[in-house]
Amino acid sequence: MSSSCFAWSLTGAVLQTFEGHLDWVQAVAFSPDGKMLASASDDKVIKLWNTGAGAVLETFEGHSSWVNAVAFSPDGKVLASASGDSTVKLWDTGTRAVLQTFQGHSSSVNAVAFSLDGKVLASAPDETVGYETLDRNGVQNPQERPDLSNPSLPNYKDR
């Protein structure tokens, strides 16, 4: 593990190095347009990088433990982060503000993923998988629970 991130060509050449975390980087994710890279670290922060320049655009602070995973919404406007503090946070990539904090897990959250339409966020800690329904601004919408048998979502029952 390293406190740096690297962008590689598929031929093995290093295209860009992203340095700035104070501890190990656990996960990275490109924005859908490829212009930003998010990195999650044991230093309890998420860094948002300009992929062309390799420069930090923002450092998101708010988790009280290491950050295990990051994922962009399909439109790139929302970034989800999962942490050892048992929370998932949603960040606005434009304003850089926290939109929502989900606190339903009882242990470290290790993964997050958006559905293809961006309306559902899945998160996975050590013991369960949870999901939240989001409105178009990335805010929790408790009135609408998704039909998990919807063909646009993976059907895990068939595995």
- Per-residue confidence (pLDDT) for residue 149, from 0 to 100: 43
- Per-residue confidence (pLDDT) for residue 140, from 0 to 100: 55
Q: Residue 135's pLDDT band (boundaries 50, 70, 90)?
A: low
- Per-residue confidence (pLDDT) for residue 131, from 0 to 100: 53
DSSP 100-146: EEE---SS-EEEEEE-TTSSEEEEEESS--EEEEB-TTS-B-TT---
Q: What is the rounded CA–CA span in Å between residue 145 and residue 45?
A: 30
Tally Cβ neighbours within 10 Å of residue 95: 9
DSSP class of residue 21 equals -
- What is the rounded average pLDDT of the residues 106-114? 89
- Per-residue confidence (pLDDT) for residue 137, from 0 to 100: 55
139-159 tens-digit pLDDT: 555 444 444 444 444 433 333
Dihedral pair phi/psi, residue 158, rounded to 5°: -85, 0
22 vs 138, residue with greater confidence: 22
13-45 tens-digit pLDDT: 999 889 889 889 899 999 999 999 999 999 989
Rg of the chain's alpha carbons, rounded to an integer?
Answer: 16
45-81 tens-digit pLDDT: 999 999 999 999 999 999 989 999 999 999 999 999 9
Q: What is the rounded CA–CA span in Å between residue 159 and residue 157?
A: 6
> Ranked by mean pLDDT, which of 91-95, 127-131, 134-138 comes out on top?
91-95
- Per-residue confidence (pLDDT) for residue 77, from 0 to 100: 96
For the chain, the domains span 4-158
Residue from 157, 150, 88 nearest 123 by CA: 88
Which architecture, in CATH terms, is 4-158? 7 Propeller (2.130)
30 vs 134, residue with greater confidence: 30
Name the amino acid, one letter, at 99.
Answer: L
